[in-house]
Amino acid sequence: MRVAFLGLGIMGQSMASNLVKAGHEVTVWNRTPGKLVEGAAVAPTPAAATQGAEVVWLCVSDTDAVEEVIFGKDGAALSLSEGAIIADSSTISPSATLKFAEKVAAKGVAWVDAPMTGSKIGARDGTLVFIVGGEEQNIERLKPLFAAMGKKIFRMGETGKGQATKLAMNLQIAMIYEGFAEALTLATKLGVDSQQLVSLIEATMVRSGVVEYKAPFVLQRDFTPNFPLRLMHKDIRLTLEAAKEARVKLPGLQTVEEIYELATEEGNKDLDYAATLTLLEKWAGVQVKGKAA
Ligand code: NAP
């Protein structure tokens, strides 16, 4: 398929590369020039990348970035062809998604929200799980592209439902990780060995995919970003906004948001979100001992 891929960050670069490897004709664009994908053409603007594309796949930071890339100066909307599909793998606001979808529908273009989970490693290995909202027939058309980048697709309903579900998923990731970080901090303060604690967690019902993924990084004190703290913070804020719009109270997540706010003030926004642990450690006056310790 002819695909315009817009946004070559931690996730987008690997995703676009997997589309090329699967034999699709890919043209890439990134706001900051110089990011390349082997085998893909490079366009100077989103509008140029979109010229003649059957599918425009987005993977940018947030709601404002999506709006700018599609509807801004030199945005993709200027050259969308009738019958094209926009697939958005950024995590953004569900209500803004509906507004964007309505705007492009006037041009005969469909919007499929396709946020994903699987992080940097899932993007690299083509094992992402896509959480999708949109018309069945459009999702069907995108299947070869989903297959090149991921291992599973869950259709959650009409356009917007993918983003809504993604927020409900990240709410849990943020809170499960915070529970793990608090447990590690308390146990360390009380003199318990952190490696032993992780082994116990893995052997009991407390275990989780989040802990399984994060524990090795945490125990090696490797906070290089797989999922940057600033992006998880953005997702927490989006979730709280969506909850407010829906008149739902999320007191647990509200508290976690404060921790992200303080971690950002500490200068940790570009580290992995696992670095929220360092704030708890600072308050407790301890440091969780890693594997090598
Ligand atoms: P990232 O590495 O920070 O990359 C962000 C991308 O968005 C870059 O290409 C950046 O361009 C572009 N961008 C930001 N603001 C822009 C604007 N105003 N106009 C145009 N382009 C703009 O982020 P990522 O980790 O790839 O994440 C991308 C999306 O996927 C986010 O919505 C994130 O929440 C979601 N996500 C990430 C993960 C993960 O583990 N990393 C997992 C699931 C979902 P520049 O290069 O010019 O800065």
Please write the tens of the pLDDT for every residue from 19-51.
Answer: 999 999 999 999 999 999 999 999 999 999 999
Q: Which of 61, 68, 116, 223 to mutate to test the pocket of ligand 1 (most atoms within 8 A of CB)?
A: 61
Which residues lie with the beta carbon below 6 Å from any ligand 1 atom? 7-12, 30-32, 59-62, 64-65, 68-69, 90-91, 116-117, 119-120, 226-227, 231, 235
CATH 3.40.50.720 residue spans of the chain:
2-158
Percent of the chain past pLDDT 90, that is, above it, reads 98
Q: How far is the CA of 188 from the centre of ligand 1 (A)?
A: 35
Q: Is 189 a catalytic residue?
A: no
Count of helices and strands (H, E) across the chain: 12, 9
Please give the mean pLDDT across all residues of the chain: 97
Res 292: pLDDT: 54
**290 falls in which pLDDT band (50, 70, 90)?**
confident
What's 164-284's CATH class?
A: mainly alpha
Q: Are 74 and 149 in contact (CB under 8 A)?
A: no
Q: How far is the CA of 167 from the centre of ligand 1 (A)?
A: 16
Percent of the chain past pLDDT 70, that is, above it, reads 99
* pLDDT digits 0-9 by tens, 90-136: 999 999 999 999 999 999 999 999 999 998 999 999 999 999 999 99
Q: Annotated catalytic residue: which of 73, 99, 152, 166?
A: 166
Name which residue sits closest to atom 13 of ligand 1, judged by CA: 60
CATH 1.10.1040.10 residue spans of the chain:
164-284
Q: Are 163 and 187 in contact (CB under 8 A)?
A: no
* pLDDT digits 0-9 by tens, 203-250: 999 999 999 999 999 999 999 999 999 999 999 999 999 999 999 999
Res 288: pLDDT: 95
**289 falls in which pLDDT band (50, 70, 90)?**
confident
Res 293: pLDDT: 43
- The fold for domain 2-158 equals Rossmann fold (3.40.50)
Q: Which residues contact 221 (CB under 8 A, 6 or more apart)?
A: 290
